C-alpha cells in the first residue's frame, strides 16, 4: 500500500504505461499530448483510484492522464511525429509553446480584469473579481499532488513564469484586505496549497489572524488533496499541526473551509480518504465540494447523485457543479449547456434536501458565475433561463436574463440574447472594464 508520496511526470510514462498495461501506441500518444499540456500523477492515484481493467475508459484515468483527443488533430500529429522520431527536447518544446498560445491559457479575464492595486501598484499573486472574496496564490502552492487533465489553470504548470499567478508577500495580502473593507473572505488557492507543509501555510494564515481584521470573516483553502493525497491529513506531525491550525482559525472567530475538488465518488471510497474527512471535520472545518461536469469522467446523472450522497454521508457539503471552462483541452471535455442542465436536474431529482445545497450548472465566466437555471418556452420562443450567482458588478447578483436556446452552446460567449435583443445587459459594462484595463 502506498504511504509515501511519489510524483510521476512525463518521463515516468513508460513505467506507468507498463503498470497499466498500455500498448506502445497509447504510450506515444500520451507522451505527445503531455509535451503540450502538463502531466503529473502520484502512485496513490494509480494504485487506489484507477481500475486498470477499465483503462482507457476508467473515469479517474481520463481525469489524470493525457488523451490524444485533447489536442486538435493537426497539432496532435505534429507532436506525435516529433516524439516518435526522438526530436530534441528544445524542438518539442518550441512546437508545444506554439500550441499553448492558442489554448486560451487565462480564461475569464484573469490577467486583465482581476488584478488588484494597492497604493497605486499592482499586487502580485492576488486576484479580486468579486467584491467579498480575494484569491491568494502562495508561491509554494503552485503545483498539485496530481494534475486534472481538464484543469483551467493548466498554464500554471508548464514552466512559463509569465503564465503564473504567485506571491510570497503575506504582508501585502494583509494590507490589501485591511484597505478593502468590503472583503470578507480570503481563498488560498493555486495549484493546491495543501502541497505546502503546515509551517509554510502558517506564514500566510497567521498574519491574517494577528492583524485582527474585523472585515475578514472566513478563510478558505482550495484543494484536491482529499482525493489525490489524503495522507496529507492523516499521517505525521505536519498533518496534526494542520488540524491545530484549523482550531486556531476558529478560535480567532473566523470560519474555516476546505473547498474540496470532488469529481467522482470513487475518490471518497478509500478508508484513508474517509479518515481524512473525519479528522478535518472534527477539527472544526467545513468541507464544501465542487467540480466541473467533465465528459468521460462524470457526465452522468447517476455519478453525480452518488457523489453528492457520499459527500452528505461523510458530513461534507455539496456546493457547485461547474461547466468546463473555455481553455486548454476544452473540446475534449466540454458538454453542451443543455446536456449539463439535464445531468444536473436528473441528479438533483435523485437526492434528498441535504444534498440540494449544490448549485449548478454554473459557468465561471468573465462577468461572473452564471447559473443555467432552466430551459423553458416564453412567448413561443425556447430559451435558457440564466442567473448570476456572483457578478463582477454586485448589482448583477441573482439577476435573471434569457438567452436563445442553442443545443450546441457550451459557454456563455456562445449564447445570444432571447426575444430579439442585441446584447446582454452586462456587455457594455464588460467592454468598458476591458478597455480600462488595457
Q: For the chain, which residues make up each domain, given as ranges?
A: 7-100, 117-293
> In the prediction, which pLDDT does 156 show?
59
Cell readout for 331 is 473540446
Tell me the mean pLDDT in the region 274-290: 98
Can you list the pairs that 368-374 forms with residues at least 24 positions away whose Cβ atoms lie under 8 Å? Answer: 368/129, 368/130, 368/392, 368/393, 368/396, 368/397, 370/412, 372/323, 372/337, 372/340, 372/341, 372/344, 373/400, 374/341
Secondary-structure class of domain 117-293 per CATH: alpha beta
Amino acid 317: pLDDT? 98
Cell numbers of 113, please? 480584469
- C-alpha distances (whole Å) from 421 to each of 90, 223, 252, 416, 418 are 50, 41, 50, 8, 6
Across the range 108-124, mean pLDDT stands at 73
> What pLDDT is stored for residue 165 in this prediction?
47
Mean per-residue pLDDT, 248-273: 97
Torsion 133-345-147-94 (CA) sign: negative
Q: Which range, of 284-288, 312-316, 319-323, 330-334, averages the lowest pLDDT? A: 330-334
Distance CA 342, CA 338 (A): 6
Q: Which residue has the cell 472583503?
A: 183
Give the model confidence (pLDDT) of 61-93 as tens digits: 999 999 999 999 999 999 999 999 999 999 999
Q: What is the mean pLDDT of the chain?
A: 92
Return the pLDDT at 50: 97
Lowest mean pLDDT among 151-160, 191-200, 280-289, 369-378: 151-160
DSSP 181-208: TT--EEEE-SS-GGGS-HHHHHHHHHHH
Average pLDDT over residues 328-357: 94
C-alpha span between 169 and 148 (Å, rounded): 28
pLDDT of 163 higher than 50:
no
Predicted confidence at residue 105, as pLDDT, reads: 66
Amino acid at each position: 500500500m502506498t504511504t509515501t508520496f511519489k510524483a510521476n511526470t512525463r518521463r515516468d510514462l513508460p513505467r506507468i504505461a507498463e503498470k497499466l498495461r498500455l500498448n506502445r501506441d497509447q504510450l506515444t500518444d500520451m507522451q505527445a499530448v503531455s509535451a503540450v499540456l502538463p502531466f503529473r500523477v502520484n502512485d496513490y492515484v494509480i494504485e487506489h483510484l484507477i481500475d486498470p481493467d477499465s483503462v482507457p475508459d476508467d473515469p479517474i484515468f481520463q481525469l489524470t492522464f493525457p488523451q490524444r483527443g485533447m489536442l486538435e488533430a493537426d497539432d496532435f500529429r505534429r507532436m506525435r511525429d516529433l516524439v516518435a522520431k526522438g526530436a530534441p527536447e528544445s524542438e518539442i518544446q518550441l512546437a508545444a509553446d506554439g500550441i499553448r498560445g492558442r489554448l486560451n491559457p487565462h480564461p475569464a479575464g484573469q490577467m486583465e480584469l482581476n488584478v488588484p492595486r494597492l497604493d497605486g501598484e499592482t499586487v502580485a499573486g492576488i486576484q479580486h473579481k468579486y467584491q467579498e472574496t480575494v484569491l491568494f496564490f502562495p508561491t509554494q502552492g503552485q503545483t498539485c499532488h496530481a494534475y486534472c487533465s481538464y484543469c483551467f489553470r493548466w498554464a500554471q504548470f508548464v514552466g512559463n513564469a509569465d503564465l503564473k499567478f504567485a506571491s510570497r508577500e503575506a504582508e501585502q495580502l494583509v494590507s490589501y484586505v485591511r484597505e478593502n473593507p468590503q472583503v470578507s473572505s480570503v481563498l488560498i488557492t493555486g495549484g493546491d496549497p495543501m502541497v505546502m507543509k503546515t509551517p509554510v501555510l502558517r506564514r500566510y494564515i497567521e498574519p491574517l489572524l494577528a492583524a485582527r481584521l474585523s472585515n475578514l470573516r472566513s478563510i478558505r483553502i482550495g484543494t484536491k488533496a482529499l482525493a489525490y493525497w489524503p495522507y496529507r491529513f492523516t499521517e505525521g506531525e505536519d498533518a496534526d499541526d494542520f488540524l491545530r491550525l484549523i482550531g486556531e482559525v476558529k478560535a480567532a472567530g473566523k470560519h474555516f473551509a476546505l473547498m474540496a475538488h470532488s469529481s467522482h465518488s470513487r475518490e471518497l471510497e478509500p478508508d484513508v480518504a474517509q479518515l481524512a474527512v473525519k479528522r478535518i471535520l472534527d477539527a472544526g472545518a467545513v468541507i464544501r465540494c465542487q467540480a466541473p461536469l467533465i465528459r468521460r469522467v462524470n457526465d452522468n446523472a447517476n455519478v453525480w447523485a452518488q457523489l453528492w450522497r457520499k459527500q452528505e454521508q461523510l458530513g461534507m457539503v455539496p456546493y457547485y457543479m461547474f461547466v468546463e471552462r473555455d481553455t486548454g483541452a476544452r473540446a475534449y471535455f466540454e458538454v453542451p449547456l443543455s446536456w449539463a442542465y439535464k445531468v444536473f436536474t436528473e441528479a438533483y431529482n435523485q437526492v434528498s434536501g441535504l444534498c440540494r445545497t449544490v448549485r449548478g450548472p454554473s459557468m465561471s465566466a468573465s462577468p461572473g458565475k452564471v447559473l443555467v437555471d432552466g430551459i423553458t418556452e416564453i412567448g413561443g420562443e425556447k430559451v435558457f433561463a440564466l442567473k448570476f450567482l456572483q457578478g463582477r458588478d454586485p448589482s448583477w447578483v441573482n439577476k435573471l436574463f434569457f438567452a436563445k436556446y442553442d443545443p450546441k452552446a457550451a459557454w456563455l460567449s456562445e449564447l445570444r440574447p432571447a426575444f430579439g435583443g442585441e446584447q446582454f445587459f452586462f456587455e457594455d459594462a464588460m467592454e468598458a472594464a476591458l478597455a480600462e484595463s488595457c
